[in-house]
Amino acid sequence: MVLVVQNTLTGKKEEFKPQKEGKVKMYVCGITPYDESHIGHARCYVVFDVIRRYLEYKKYEVKYIQNFTDIDDKIIARAKELNTDTGKLVNENIDKYFKVMRELNVKAADVYPRVTEHIKEIIEIVSKLVENGYAYEVDGAVYFSVAKFEPYGRLSKRKKEDLVAGARVEVNESKKNPLDFALWKKAKPEEPSWPSPWGEGRPGWHIECSVMSMKHLKTDTLDIHGGGRDLIFPHHENEIAQSEAATGRQFSKYWLHNGFVTINEEKMSKSLGNTFTLSDILEKYNPMVLRYFLLTKHYRSSIDFSDDKLEEAKIRMYEIKNEIEKIRYLSLNKKSKIISTEDRSRINALISECRNGFEKAMDDDFKTREAIDSIRKLVRQLSAELGRKNPPFELLTKGVYEVEGFFEILGINLGKLLESDILLDADDLRKQRDEARKNKDWKKSDKLRDQLEARGYLVEDTPSGTFLKKK
């Protein structure tokens, strides 16, 4: 099967063909560590971790780079607010970032470059842009001349004339064009700065990613550049302009962007007070439950975060775990009789069907939801085998290993689901079911029966209500 990806640059699905066969050079924009990481960061880095893992599953050698923007207006402002040093603030938040990413089973990037480690290279490329006429200096600051770059707006599908009409020149800026963006910012009093041909200053936001991606991937053209949809304009649009103006080559062959996270169907925003730090979420929910939830929507779609949806994901995960543990327990304690050729063919066919469904979904622009559906179907089929007169336990154990392997491609480690993480007390579920039956809500009643049975209970209906007995 051929892997196709939705390329933001062309707006089309395209067959994925890296420049060098078998090797993928991939760059994803990292965090600006002025505060703790939030649910939006988890969405982005889990998504691109899955993309990386699936490429590796398909035998690609992936070089994966993710930066840290460790000098920025937000960092400077936050450090002043907390009366601390910018370096100390950055390091504390990067440490917290690594902690929550490890919990979410996000594989480490090959390199995590920082802006402050690349000032020399940034000055070199800015100087080149000034020399070739794509940039100009004004009173110690350097700006990219958008008018000089004809294809500007290609990624975001915006026209320059429309952008100019809606643009505003910031106070004290002397840009030639409202669309022009800073490559080098003039130093302000008591802010971190570095010497340059234009005087003391620091890099603009966009230039850093061009420099760090090309340096660490050792190429002018990346295979994949990724990030959140909010970065398409202006950040990624500006990266393309400055990179291609400097090198004369296409900056990235494929552009992939993940969708937004909403909170209870409202846009997540600090101003609205509805952002959730990952550390707070992971105090309440197992990291694998959060990861599973984030993969239940296609990566390009928006996903709505709420406690109800996390609880639902928790139930789904533990239903899967309970079924797997039941198969494993019975397989350890019971022996199969002679396994027939028919049994072997049937179970192998179920596993093959799952693999084909999983790969078909992932090859179609990484449809994780459909991939998960294929795995869940296999779990149900393996569990149904236990109802046979002579279940082929050894083959069912093989099926369980396959299930765990498919989940591992998605970065979901079922072993990290702790037995102590209780969904809901079984008695609470029993009471809910009795209430549903009283209200003749048979659909809810059946759903609660399924949840109880998945947790290892026999459910019997009696005149006095639901009776539970451990299997």
What is the domain-level CATH number for residue 25? 3.40.50.620
The label of the residue with tokens 């709420």 reads 306
The domain boundary, picked from 242, 262, 284, lies at 284
Element containing residue 287 per DSSP (H, E)? helix 287-294
Token pair of 130, please? 């000034």
Phi, psi of 153 (to 5 degrees): 100, -5
Q: Indicate if 254 and 338 belong to the same structural domain.
A: no
Tell me, yes or no, whether 266 and 381 share the same domain. no
Q: How many CB atoms lie within 10 A of CB 127?
A: 17
Question: Do 235 and 275 lie in a common domain?
Answer: yes
SS3 223: strand
| Cβ atoms within 10 Å of 154's Cβ, excluding its own | 14
Domain containing 336: what range? 314-416
For residue 114 the two structure tokens come to 């920082």
Q: Is residue 432 domain-shared with residue 365, that is, in the same domain? A: no
51/123 same-domain check:
yes
Residue 238 belongs to a domain:
yes
Please give the C-alpha separations between residue 290 and each of 223, 277, 309, 363, in angstroms, as whole numbers. Answer: 29, 13, 10, 23
Q: How far apart are CA 456 and CA 418, in angstroms?
A: 16
pTM of the model: 0.88
Domain co-membership, 82 together with 124: yes
pLDDT by 10s per residue, the chain, length 471? 899 999 999 999 999 999 999 999 999 999 999 999 999 999 999 999 999 999 999 999 999 999 999 999 999 999 999 999 999 999 999 999 999 999 999 999 999 999 999 999 999 999 999 999 999 999 999 999 999 999 999 999 998 887 865 555 454 467 889 899 999 999 999 899 999 999 999 999 999 999 999 999 999 999 999 999 999 999 999 999 999 999 999 999 999 999 999 987 777 766 666 778 999 999 999 999 999 999 999 999 999 999 889 989 988 898 898 888 888 878 777 766 678 899 999 999 999 999 999 999 999 999 999 999 999 999 999 999 988 888 898 899 999 999 999 999 999 999 888 654 444 467 778 888 999 999 999 988 988 888 787 666 788 887 768 877 766
The 3-state DSSP class for residue 177 equals coil
Judge whether 276 lies within some domain. yes
Which tokens is 49 given? 């971790």
Q: Is 313 within 8 Å of 289 (Cβ atoms)?
A: yes
Nearest to 363 by CA among 412, 320, 404, 409: 409
Do you know the residue count of the chain? 471
Specify the CATH number for the domain of residue 406. Answer: 1.20.120
In this structure, are residues 415 and 295 in contact, taking their beta carbons and an 8 Å threshold?
A: no
* Domain assignment of residue 294, yes or no: no
As a whole number of angstroms, the distance between CA 213 and CA 225 comes to: 9
What span, in angstroms and rounded, lies between the C-alpha atoms of 462 and 471?
Answer: 18
Domain contains 231: yes
**Do 269 and 396 share a domain, yes or no?**
no
* Domain membership flag for residue 171: no
Task: Give the amino acid at 146.
Answer: V
Tokens matching residue 308: 């109800």
- What's the rounded Cα separation, in Å, for the pair 317 and 319? 5
Same domain as 430, residue 400: no
Q: Please say which residue of 265, 284, 303 terminates a domain.
A: 284
Q: Is residue 9 part of a domain?
A: yes
Q: Is residue 170 domain-resident?
A: no
Q: Are residues 401 and 434 in the same domain?
A: no
User: Is 121 among the domain residues?
Assistant: yes
Our count of domains for the chain comes to 3
In the block, tokens 């085998």 appear at 385
- Show the 3-state SS of 89-138: HHHHHHHHHHHHHHHCCCCCCCECCEHHHCHHHHHHHHHHHHHCCCEEEE
| Residues 13 and 91 placed together within one structural domain of the fold | yes
Give me the residue label for tokens 């691109």. 48
The alpha helices in 132-265, defined as continuous H runs, are: 160-166, 207-217, 237-247
Final residue of a domain: which of 236, 265, 284? 284
Q: Does 350 lie in the same domain as 432?
A: no
409 and 444 together in one domain: no
Q: Which pLDDT value is given to residue 309?
A: 92
